[in-house]
Amino acid sequence: MDLTRLWKSVLSEIELSVSKATYQTHFAHSLLLSLDEGVASIAFPSPLMRTLAETRYYSLIKNILDHKTDANTSLVFSVLPRKEPSEKDAGPLFSQTMDPTPNTNVLAKKLHINAELRFDNFAVSTTNQLAYAATTAVAKNPGSAYNPLFLYGGVGVGKTHLMYAIANALLAKKPSARVVYCMGEEFLNEIIESIQMRSTRQFKQKYRGAELLMVDDVQFIAGKQTAQEEFFHTFNAVLREGGQILLTSDRPPHEISRLEDRLRSRFEGGLIVDISPPDFELRAAIVNIKSKALGVTVPSDCAQLVAANVVDARAIEGFLRRLTTELATKPQPITPELISGLLNAKSVFTNHAQTPRRVSPQELMDAVSLYFNIKPTQLKGPKRDRPIARPRQVFMYLAKTELGITYEDIGGSLGGRDHTTIMHGVNTITQELSTNEALRQAVAGIKLKLWTPSI
């Protein structure tokens, strides 16, 4: 059994099940060391990550691994051996200087940066044009153009892609550049670990000596006194030495609750850019770019079908991974029917699970009824005229794709309709979303009403 391939497949499933911050912090650098007689040995970079895996994510990992291996596995967690730093090797931050002819991809990997995310494969439209212009300016003249640069927006709008693109551009020009990338939650965890391991000197050396400091989802440090204290001094030290700071968040600084005023003031001292969710045309372009990167060609009508039903870039990539897995196990042409079947197979293409809000079927029914100005009882009733039938089909579609309800249960909530009727309704909306702008606006409006997170 290929352990590397198996674990990569497991991680792909985990990435779809947890938040981006959780995945990058706790799972991205884990390894499956062995799988013998139903016992899986899994290693993590630090004792803290191992403990969190044992206490919070044991069931998640086991369920996915059991499904992949078709076995009942037991999990054993360990810590990867840590290489002691020396004068020549002060950690991954400085290791790139040892190779006289370094490879940019190798450097990026050591720094936990995705080398495949660059400016040349970033799709630009009116929703992200300002952010693209600002980040390319920073890449050309780090430390001077916009410092700090603060990008904010929802999930899957391209913040992390642009962050990686700056790092890759800088490393291409200057392989010895001291680049540091981390998640806000990772910064917090490293502080805790450095205190426990009595390695605060190495922690400060790593972060305060950065020429390019990038912190993704910086809102995670808000309300954490020790993290905010250390980040304040790190921020000042990097700026003092002429380094570039790039921060991302899901909201602007003034809306991050429990963020210290002195940090908020510094975050607002540079350029703040809002990145809006990608529109339909941009999502279609993203489908084409990411599918080519995965080695598949998605026909135009199928790309539009994906773009109409999947709301952000990260979810698009997750869907395309599932598509490539389907094609690998069952080679077949990519058709609208195949795409529709995968879209409706499981509710995995939204990020509502990352917010605390859970929506009930009744709430969804009320929201659909309110949007179309009809009564919930009409959705359950026998009438089939278009002013009632279309909202009913929208409810079917959202109940399946957003709430993950079975066809039978959706039919039950609509007065006992047959599951084949529900399947037809879901497929109808799925198909029409790729060509009907008014329908896309209706679906987006209902989802915005139900799942807009409170600040």
> What tens digit of pLDDT does each residue of 79-123 get?
887 554 444 444 433 333 334 445 667 777 777 788 889 998 898
Q: Which residue intervals of the chain bear CATH 3.40.50.300?
A: 95-274
CATH superfamily for domain 95-274: P-loop containing nucleotide triphosphate hydrolases (3.40.50.300)
350 confidence band (pLDDT: 50, 70, 90) = very low
212: which strand partners? Answer: 179, 244
Q: Which residue intervals of the chain bear CATH 1.10.8?
A: 280-349
Q: Which residue intervals of the chain bear CATH 3.30.300.180?
A: 3-79
pTM: 0.66
Residue 353 has pLDDT above 60, yes or no: no
31: which strand partners? Answer: 43
Q: Answer yes or no: are the C-beta atoms of 114 and 266 closer than 8 Å.
A: no
The pLDDT tens digits of the residues spanning 6-26 come to: 898 889 888 877 777 678 777
pLDDT at site 104:
66
Mean pLDDT of the chain: 84
pLDDT at site 452:
61
Q: How confident is the model over 373-383, as a mean pLDDT? A: 90
357 confidence band (pLDDT: 50, 70, 90) = low
Give the three-class secondary structure for 395.
Answer: helix
- Distance, in Å, from the CA atom of 344 to the CA atom of 451, rounded to the nearest integer, reads 20
Phi then psi for residue 215, to 5 deg, are: -120, 115
Q: How confident is the model over 192-218, as a mean pLDDT? A: 88
Q: How confident is the model over 325-338, as a mean pLDDT? A: 88
Residue with tokens 């009595």: 198
Question: Is the N-terminal amide bond of 148 cis, ω within 30° of 0?
Answer: yes
pLDDT at site 93:
38
CATH superfamily for domain 3-79: DnaA, N-terminal domain (3.30.300.180)
149: which strand partners? Answer: 246, 271
Using DSSP bridges, classify how beta strands 179-183 and 31-36 pair: parallel, antiparallel or unpaired: unpaired
pLDDT at site 21:
67
Q: In what order do the strands lie in the sheet with 271-274?
A: 179-183, 212-216, 244-249, 149-152, 271-274
Q: Which residue intervals of the chain bear CATH 1.10.1750.10?
A: 354-451
Q: Is 280-349 assigned to CATH 2.40.128?
A: no
pLDDT at site 90:
40
The CATH code of the domain at 354-451 is: 1.10.1750.10
Half-sphere exposure of 367 (CA within 13 A, CB side): 21
Give the three-class secondary structure for 57.
Answer: coil
